[in-house]
Amino acid sequence: MCKVDTIHEGSAPVSKEVSRTIPPWPGPVTNNFHKGLSIDGSPQRGYSCVSTATKDSWERLFDEGYRADVSVNTDDGGIIYAHANILGMASPAMKGLLKQSSRFRRQRSISILGVPHDAVRVFIRFLYSSCYEKREMEEFVVHLLVLSHVYLVPQLKQECEKKLEHGLLTTENVVDIFQLALLCDAPRLSLICHRMILKNFKTVCTTTGWKVMKKSHPALEKELVESMIEEDNRQKERIKKVNERKIYLLLYEAMEALVHIYKDGCQTIGPSDKDFKENQAPCKYVACKGLELLVRHFAGCKLRVPGGCIHCKRMWQLLELHSRLCANSHTCRVPLCRNFKERIKKQSKKDEIRWKMLVKKILTTKRIAEYICID
């Protein structure tokens, strides 16, 4: 016998006629059980472990059609024999169809058309034993998803969605599955398909499924294109914010390095009262090397006035930024710190707002970076 996957829904009544020839419907037992049996990650109520012999009996009942009282008509004149009580208990929709079927005839009949005969057989078999073979699921997963939705069999529907999510969903069939998920009220599956389409948009656009959808459902195609544009814009915005955060962190590190140079000294540059040792440990501030060159240039440049030299202009901006971040300008050893504090009071409102926004973003970015490091 082929290895099968099994789902157990719980106990259900069967007719007296059937119960004389087969074991009870698979249900909760108290021996040889597995606690915490789950379907798609959701814990089931009670305990469930059905022996192979019990499942084989239900499989044999379906295969042999013993005392079957319903014939299921499929495409190409195919017929599958089944039992009304079992179909009705496993599927509320089937129960309604069977009630509508003629009661004057001993053999009732229902039709399931539009899907392959073998897919219908796998579906009916699942109603008996909650089993399916891996090969059949892979071959008929789309048809089984439709049948489970139409005939209200949530366990099979969950299995189809799970199998599609974990392997059977590809760039070739994702557009078809996406449309099917929308029709079959499968929000999780439709979301997964939507994400796959956006992630592999260029590849998906070349598939047959996309071309067919473009002709049959142009509104859906337009919606997906708009979603792709929005996602692309969001991605660009995320990249922009990441780059901005990097710049703000670099500015904060530059401010720390600036204080380090004028307070403690670094390698070959520092305050006049600092004694430099020949074998100093490497500086921990990455920005020190660049700042050292900038400070040396600033000290000897003849066009030091703001706007006269781009390097000096950058140094003036760093000094002003430091003064806005400095908490105690009276004891600070960075040049012009106190002067800039006084100058700030005379600046225009527009410049003041611009500088305050920059300082706020730098401090916020630094706090976020520290929080991430702690976590």
Encode the chain (375 residues) as per-residue pLDDT tens digits: 344 444 444 434 444 343 344 444 444 333 333 333 334 444 444 444 567 888 888 889 998 888 898 999 999 899 999 999 999 999 999 999 888 875 556 678 899 999 999 999 999 999 998 889 999 999 999 999 999 999 999 999 999 999 999 989 999 999 999 999 999 999 999 999 999 999 999 999 999 999 999 999 999 999 999 999 999 999 999 999 999 999 999 999 989 888 888 887 776 777 766 666 666 677 788 888 888 888 888 888 877 665 578 888 888 889 999 999 988 888 888 888 888 888 887 888 888 899 999 999 999 988 888 877 665
Interatomic CA distance for residues 108 and 88, integer angstroms: 13
Structural element, H or E, at residue 295:
helix 288-300
User: Which helix or strand (DSSP H or E) is residue 6 part of?
Assistant: strand 4-6
- The 3-state DSSP class for residue 44 equals coil
The answer to whether 174 and 197 are in contact (CB under 8 A) is yes
**Where exactly are the structural domains of the chain?**
54-161, 241-272+280-373
Q: Which long-range contacts (CB under 8 A, 24 or more apart) does 88-96 make?
A: 89/12, 89/13, 89/14, 90/12, 90/127, 90/128, 90/153, 91/127, 91/151, 91/152, 91/153, 92/152, 93/150, 93/151, 93/152, 94/127, 94/151
- What CATH number does the domain located at 54-161 have? 3.30.710.10
**What 3 state SS string does 243-264 have?**
HHHHHHHHHHHHHHHHHHHHHC
Cα within 13 Å of Cα(325), Cβ side: 25
Identical fold, 54-161 and 241-272+280-373: no
Q: What CATH number was assigned to the domain covering residues 241-272+280-373? A: 1.20.1020.10
pTM: 0.65
Supply the pLDDT for residue 304. Answer: 62
For 130: left if phi > 0, alpha if psi spans -120 to 50, otherwise beta; the answer is left
